[in-house]
Amino acid sequence: MPQCDERLTGCARCEKYGKPCPGYDRGFKFIAGKPYRTPRQKSKTVTGSLSEQQSKTESPNAGNHSQDSRQAVVLKEQPWSLVYGDVNVMRSLAALINEFSQPASASQKHLVSQWFSFLPSVYGHNQALDASIKSFTAHHFGKVFQNEQMIAYARSAYGEALFRLRKSLKDPSECLSSHVFYTVVLLCMYEDAGVEIDTIKLFTDTEDPESWMKHAKGLGQLVRTRGPDRYRNDLDITLLKVSRGLIYQVMHSMFSGEPCFLATEEWHQMMRQQRAPGISPDLHNCIEQFFAYFTYAPSLVHKFYHLKEIDITTPEALQIISATLEQALDMQGKLTLWYEQFSQIAPPPVETLTSTDDPLYPIVLTYSDMTQATIYCSYYAYMIIIHEVLKNFGCSGPQAAMVIYFRDQICRSVEYSSVGVLGPYRLGFPLRVAIEVADPTTRSWILARLYQFSKVYAASQPKNFEPILSSNVT
């Protein structure tokens, strides 16, 4: 057999000898790129290689990738042999950004897609962030293609990221920088080892059912330490608004019992003033108004659970009940007015038949836009909390029916909102609230969805919801 000269589409040597060209295997590897301002020594370490099988795994909703991303993706027919040096992440980030932005099109400037779009521009400016990007990229593609070499490299890069992050956090000139903030957010979402700032763990083992709370606590500490005045550029604003209340800051406060530091006019005003790129002024104002309301949800939940633990016939308890009902009714009125305004800007969901033949929810909800779907689901979750409080303290009206209605609105949104790599991430808080008020049948349905999500998003493991489930057992 003549040696292949790797010409496309056929081998010239095979043609010369009159042989049919059987094709050849050409692996993709991360090589030394040129995003750095200053040259670095080329790594002599050989540990493996990266390759991507886009043509076999592309989502039907993924759309068309750029030419650069197609160049980063090569079909492999034989086991991967991969070489890692100083990883040329730049050639693969286009595919990564596209995939993590789904199901939004390239023209839709969603906050999450904006966040990932910063990756190429920040790569090469901070060693901790560089290592976290390498780990993030290798881990994602390793999971997608079930390649243990890629996953092993991701773990190695993660160890380097943690080492360099520790150094950055100890450096007064660097610890509050945008690059360190980006590193923390990136690692907080996807990694599973431990690092501490003083006594606060930023990243913990995903085997720990309370790991999401520790993630949120560490990230919240960094956000708070940086203070409102540091969020003045597009990168910092986008990172803050991706990682704030609906995912980390408020969620941690709500379930940990700790006060929410974002529930102040200083933070609200800063966020109202800083509009993320690509968001219309009207939509921005509605989202920020909802978030300002949302930061008060933890205090309502804290009062509610405190009353469950004390004698409600005491004068102290009666005062707390009165204050809790007043807060719940006031917020119900505010959210009713907010919904009327928001639904004029963001069309409410449309009912359609499920594509999965789901017997429990044969009619599901579809939305105009994933950002709007996320806000609607968070609104449903907040309304569950309010009506559950009103129901438990004897407020007249169809409180129980409204709890069920909003719970089902969340469940009927799962089919639409769970699409894409970040679908489970977006649904974390709404499903955590919905499962609190679920009957056994609905609870089983939610747990089945969580099990599916956990294959790509470890925090969705059903066992992570055990503390909540046990609190509902009677």
Q: Which two tokens stand for residue 373?
A: 């779907």
Going from the C-alpha of 177 to that of each of 1, 168, 244, 324, 326, the distances in angstroms are: 58, 9, 17, 40, 41
- When divided into structural domains, the chain yields a total of 3
pLDDT of residue 210: 53
The answer to the question of residue 113 being in a domain is yes
Q: Across residues 292-315, what is the average pLDDT?
A: 87
363 and 353 Cβ atoms separated by less than 8 Å: yes
pLDDT of residue 312: 81
Integer Cα distance of 164 and 180 in angstroms = 10
Select from 210, 230, 250 the last residue of a domain: 230
Q: Across residues 204-231, what is the average pLDDT?
A: 70
Integer Cα distance of 298 and 87 in angstroms = 43
Shared domain for 426 and 443, answered yes or no, is: yes
Angle CA 389–394–399, to nearest 5: 60
Q: Name the percent of the chain lying above pLDDT 70.
A: 67
**Both ends of the chain: CA-CA distance in Å?**
74
Q: Name the percent of the chain lying above pLDDT 90.
A: 29
The answer to the question of residue 252 being in a domain is no
Task: Pick 57 or 281 by higher pLDDT.
Answer: 281
Integer Cα distance of 420 and 418 in angstroms = 6
Integer Cα distance of 286 and 466 in angstroms = 34
Task: Residue 6: give the domain boundaries.
Answer: 1-27
Select from 174, 204, 230 the last residue of a domain: 230
pLDDT of residue 123: 86
The answer to the question of residue 264 being in a domain is no
Q: Which two tokens stand for residue 410?
A: 């969340």
Shared domain for 20 and 79, answered yes or no, is: no
Going from the C-alpha of 38 to that of each of 124, 125, 126, the distances in angstroms are: 9, 10, 12
Shared domain for 45 and 18, answered yes or no, is: no
Shared domain for 15 and 40, answered yes or no, is: no
Q: How confident is the model at residue 18 (pLDDT cuts 50, 70, 90)?
A: low
pLDDT of residue 34: 39
Q: What is the DSSP letter of 157?
A: H
429 and 394 Cβ atoms separated by less than 8 Å: no
- Examine the pLDDT at 420 and tell me if it is beyond 90: no
Q: Is the peptide bond before 324 cis (omega within 30 degrees of 0)?
A: no
Task: Pick 86 or 354 by higher pLDDT.
Answer: 354
pLDDT of residue 307: 82
Q: How confident is the model at residue 119 (pLDDT cuts 50, 70, 90)?
A: confident
**Number of neighbouring beta carbons within 10 Å of residue 158:** 23
Integer Cα distance of 31 and 90 in angstroms = 10
Going from the C-alpha of 379 to that of each of 40, 331, 338, 373, the distances in angstroms are: 49, 12, 10, 10
The answer to the question of residue 237 being in a domain is no
421 and 99 Cβ atoms separated by less than 8 Å: yes
Among left, alpha and beta (phi > 0; psi -120 to 50; other), residue 18 is left
pLDDT of residue 458: 65
- Examine the pLDDT at 48 and tell me if it is beyond 70: no
Shared domain for 202 and 323, answered yes or no, is: no
Q: How confident is the model at residue 352 (pLDDT cuts 50, 70, 90)?
A: very high
Integer Cα distance of 165 and 426 in angstroms = 27
Half-sphere exposure of 37 (CA within 13 A, CB side): 6
Shared domain for 358 and 412, answered yes or no, is: yes
Among the listed residues 456, 467, 404, 388, the one whose alpha carbon sits nearest the alpha carbon of residue 432: 467
Integer Cα distance of 197 and 29 in angstroms = 35
Q: Across residues 271-297, what is the average pLDDT?
A: 85
Task: Pick 448 or 86 by higher pLDDT.
Answer: 448
- Examine the pLDDT at 38 and tell me if it is beyond 60: no
pLDDT of residue 44: 36
Select from 230, 249, 282 the last residue of a domain: 230
Shared domain for 164 and 193, answered yes or no, is: yes
Phi, psi of 8 (to 5 degrees): -100, 140
Q: Across residues 45-72, what is the average pLDDT?
A: 35
Alpha helices in 110-233, H assignment, sequence order = 111-117, 119-122, 127-145, 148-170, 178-190, 211-226
pLDDT tens digits, 442-451: 999 999 998 8
Q: By three-state DSSP, how is residue 96 classified?
A: helix
Shared domain for 332 and 189, answered yes or no, is: no
Q: Across residues 346-363, what is the average pLDDT?
A: 95
Question: What average pLDDT does the structure give for the chain?
Answer: 75
pLDDT tens digits, 377-400: 999 999 999 999 999 888 888 999
| Ranges assigned E (strand) in 124-253 | 195-197, 200-203
447 and 465 Cβ atoms separated by less than 8 Å: yes
Integer Cα distance of 300 and 303 in angstroms = 5
Shared domain for 14 and 56, answered yes or no, is: no
